[in-house]
Amino acid sequence: MVPGRSLQRHASPIRQASLREHNLALVLRQVATAGTRSGPALAGRYPPSRADIAAATGLTRSTVSALVDDLIAGRLVLEVAPAPKAGAGRPSVGLALDPRGPAGLGLEVNVDYLAACVVDLSGAVRHREVRHADQRPRTPEQVLATLDELTISAAAAAAGQNLQLAGIALAVPGLVQDQTVRLAPNLGWRDIEVPASIGGISVTVDNEANLAALGELLTNPHAGRNFIYVSGEIGIGAGVVLDGEIVAGSRGFSGEIGHVAVQPNGPACRCGAFGCLEQYAGLEAIIRAAGIASIQDQILPAVRTGGAPLDIIAGARAGNRKVLGALDGAGTALGIVLAGMINFIDVDTVILGGIYTQLEPWLRIHIARELGERVLAAEWAPVGIRASVLAEEAAVVGAAASVIRTVWDHPAAWIPNR
């Protein structure tokens, strides 16, 4: 027996330095969650005082005060006007996340646009820029050059607001391994290396559905801690969140739900296999089944709104039978595949993103039917179906938030030495 593998959580000793780091993150978390739905019950009201944080964490008041001073010095926390107090006594100073400190830059490459977004420590979007254009005829070098431009523009916008970019996360629609995009079928990318930094700021790269799921985790009050985020575009991606953490998989290749078989002998897929979900519920499949003439026109941004083609939404609203049939087919296929995934890993929520965000009113009934019929535990464990909150911004906001999350997890790095 090899017990060590089950004890990973005890893999490193805790010494005084990491004790302080842990408690800094703990206090920062208290400041961030006070008064929010998922935050623990604090004695006071938002914004919390040092005493509230001591009460909620069990740390002593003097320890909390020292940690808060450090967080203030690192521009992670700031003092704000105290909340009005009902009882007697002087109200104590409140604490909030500092919106002038570190910020995250999210970048996104997608088939028909490039996007950038700056998010501050409190999660507020402070800058956004989208450049619509079909990226498929462009070389990866041309795309990366535009990302440089978006970064320069975002860095200038951040500096103008006294924000310091803590890092860049790039979202791409494909398989990512370390700093390399192994395969992005709908962009035609294969083994494209992403630079380790842009303008001196370090860059990480990840699958767009993973980052979008992270964006939902951090912003969608209905997301909970266990969900599948499924995002429809020309391709279909999924981000899996279990116990509040993104499931990246053993080699980082999770979430390829678009290539899960609906009918193993179904139509040939671009990936070489047969009957993949993408062939039933991808944007092109829906447009084809809806009998709408030009696929090329539909996927260009000019005719899209909130991710879904206007003709599809208009057709569905008007009760067009072919359009409704196309959405029945897509929803049924999504439901069959999602039922399989939920039998396998048991999540309580499905979040519909990308083009599915706006199509949710029509897709939901078909997905719910398949889940009800096929999920073994459906009777005891119903599954909620929700539209994405961030919609087409999910991946780029999630990318920026992933940078912020590393600041939340490791605040000590931002605290000046004394």
Question: What angle, rounded to 10 degrees, do the helices at 321-345 and 310-317 form?
Answer: 100
Q: Residue 208 Cβ, how far from its own copies at the closest point, in Å?
A: 15
Phi and psi (nearest 5°) for 382? -65, 155
Q: Which is nearer to its own copies, 198 or 342 (CB)?
A: 342
Closest among 210, 232, 211, 214 to 223, alpha carbons compared: 214
Q: Residue 246 Cβ, how far from its own copies at the closest point, in Å?
A: 9
Q: Residue 257 Cβ, how far from its own copies at the closest point, in Å?
A: 6
Q: Which is nearer to its own copies, 76 or 312 (CB)?
A: 76
**Segment (H or E) for 117:** strand 113-120
Q: Which is nearer to its own copies, 29 or 304 (CB)?
A: 29
Q: Residue 63 Cβ, how far from its own copies at the closest point, in Å?
A: 9
Which amino acid is present at 329? Answer: G
Q: Residue 59 Cβ, how far from its own copies at the closest point, in Å?
A: 5
Q: Which is nearer to its own copies, 28 or 165 (CB)?
A: 28
Q: Which is nearer to its own copies, 328 or 346 (CB)?
A: 346
Q: Residue 226 Cβ, how far from its own copies at the closest point, in Å?
A: 4
- Residues shown for the chain: 418
Q: Residue 305 Cβ, how far from its own copies at the closest point, in Å?
A: 25
Q: Residue 165 Cβ, how far from its own copies at the closest point, in Å?
A: 18
Q: Which is nearer to its own copies, 76 or 170 (CB)?
A: 76
Q: Which is nearer to its own copies, 56 or 147 (CB)?
A: 56
Q: Which residues contact 272 (CB under 8 A, 6 or more apart)?
A: none
Phi and psi (nearest 5°) for 182? -65, -45
Q: Which is nearer to its own copies, 297 or 373 (CB)?
A: 373
Give the angle 255-257-261 at the CA atoms, nearest 5°: 145
Q: Which is nearer to its own copies, 359 or 400 (CB)?
A: 400
Distances (CA, A) of 59 to 9, 14, 51, 56, 180: 22, 17, 10, 8, 43
Q: Residue 416 Cβ, how far from its own copies at the closest point, in Å?
A: 21
Task: Please count the other Cβ atoms lying within 10 Å of the Cβ belonging to residue 314.
Answer: 11
Q: Residue 151 Cβ, how far from its own copies at the closest point, in Å?
A: 22
Helix, strand, or coil (residue 163): coil
Q: Which is nearer to its own copies, 101 or 224 (CB)?
A: 224
CA distance 95 to 69: 11
Q: Which residues contact 59 (CB under 8 A, 6 or more apart)?
A: 23, 26, 27, 53, 67
CA distance 376 to 378: 6
DSSP assignment of 6-70 equals: G-GGGSS---HHHHHHHHHHHHHHHHHHTTSTTSPPPSSPSSPPHHHHHHHH---HHHHHHHHHH
